[in-house]
Structure 1
Amino acid sequence: MQTPFPCTQCGCCCKQVFRSELTAYLDRGDGSCKYLSSDNICSIYEDRPDICRVDLQYKLFFSSKMTWDKFIEINVDACVFLQNEVNS
């Protein structure tokens, strides 16, 4: 059983969808996801786009390139970067 992605539900990734062409279509006009509510919860979480599903992205694009643990490590580093960007 793989360790789940340690998401803190801070919303920082959802507040910066403008940073990637893969998520730019979700931008509500201020850089944040149009589905992000004021309490940092995804309003369509159960039906969220595939790009927002860490485990699916790993399975589809990265499982042949790296381990799940390495993938988590890279994504946690990206998460910390985004948190620093939002909080600075």
Structure 2
Amino acid sequence: MNTFPCTVCGACCKSINGIKELQNFNKNGICVHLKEDNTCAIYDTRPMICKIDEIYQKYFSQYYKKNDFYNENIKICNELQKKFKLNKKFRIKLIKEI
């Protein structure tokens, strides 16, 4: 897998309270750049913390296998989806080790 399997559910963008790097984007816990279709209005220039693949390469690749890093993020993503009672079609399956 080359990129994180995001399903564009918007759950992470609706859960930014307490994230220091996103304090200027925070409006009642929701990113001000989240559009109604759950896409990002500033996708190409979004902060590093919103870029799972780049975060992995820059900070975590020396500590985790990519699939393991993705799986930890998938677990969090799926929990946020449950919190917001999102349709199960947005759930991401854990990546099996090859």
TM-score category (smaller protein): 0.7 to 0.9
Q: Which secondary structure state, in structure 1, belongs to the residue aligned with residue 72 of structure 2?
A: helix
Structure richer in helix, relative to its length: 1
The TM-score, its normalising length taken from structure 1, stands at: 0.87
What's the RMSD between the two structures over aligned residues? 1.6
Structure 1, residues 27-72: CA drift from partner, whole Å, max 9, x if none?
12x2100100111110011111111111110011111111101000
CA gap of 1:24–1:82, structure 2 versus 1, over 3 A, is farther
> 1:36 aligns to what?
34
Deviation at 1:19, TM superposition (A): 4.4
CA distance in 1, matches of 2:41, 2:55: 20
CA distance in 2, matches of 1:23, 1:13: 12
Structure richer in strand, relative to its length: 2
Give the count of matched residue pairs: 86
Structure 1 unpaired stretches of 5+: none
Structure 2 unpaired stretches of 5+: 87-98
The TM-score, its normalising length taken from structure 2, stands at: 0.79
> 1:58 aligns to what?
56
Deviation at 1:3, TM superposition (A): 2.6
> 1:17 aligns to what?
16
The runs of 4+ residues in structure 1 deviating greater than 2 Å are 19-25
> 2:43 aligns to what?
45
CA distance in 2, matches of 1:64, 1:86: 33
